[in-house]
């Protein structure tokens, strides 16, 4: 049986989520990318609450909202919000996406802004 790319990504995501979980001291940094936008949120899985979130929907000064520059802009915005909430260390959940392109640019920019994972 042939699985679509989306189904393969979901399977990878479920497999990873069985192993990682965010806590109050080290929350989970989750990313999601659609064809048109890029989203990221920091989640405390023990309480089930989103602590901080950012997406290209909130950023209006971008030419394209689905490229590497957009992912970097979301990372900068999320890092600012995380520092306000005293979050310096997270567990990175790439949601089954391969670690290259937008996801890698996002992660590198988060690290440059002082968020450890």
DSSP, residue by residue, 62-103: -S-SSSHHHHHHHHHHHHHHHHHTT--B-EEE-TT--SSTHH
62 pLDDT band, cuts 50/70/90, is confident
Rounded Cα distance between 29 and 14, Å, is 15
What's the pTM? 0.91
103 pLDDT band, cuts 50/70/90, is very high
63 pLDDT band, cuts 50/70/90, is confident
Residue-range domains of the chain with CATH: 5-113 (3.30.420.100)
66 pLDDT band, cuts 50/70/90, is confident
| pLDDT of residue 54 exceeding 90 | yes
The average pLDDT across 28-36 equals 95
CB 45 within 8 Å of CB 22: yes
The average pLDDT across 77-90 equals 96
CB 102 within 8 Å of CB 75: no
Q: How many CB atoms lie under 10 A from the CB of residue 82?
A: 23
Rounded Cα distance between 94 and 87, Å, is 18
């Amino acid at each position: 049986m042939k699985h679509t790319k989306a189904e393969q990504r979901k399977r990878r995501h479920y497999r990873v989520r069985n192993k990682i979980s965010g806590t109050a001291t080290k929350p989970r940094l989750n990313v999601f990318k659609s064809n048109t936008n890029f989203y990221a949120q920091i989640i405390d899985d023990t309480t089930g609450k989103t602590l901080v979130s950012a997406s290209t929907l909130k950023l209006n000064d971008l030419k394209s909202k689905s490229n590497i520059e957009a992912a970097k802009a979301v990372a900068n915005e999320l890092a600012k919000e995380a520092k306000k909430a005293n979050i310096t260390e997270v567990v990175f959940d790439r949601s089954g996406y391969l670690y290259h392109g937008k996801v890698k640019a996002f992660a590198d920019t988060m690290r440059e802004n002082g968020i450890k994972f």
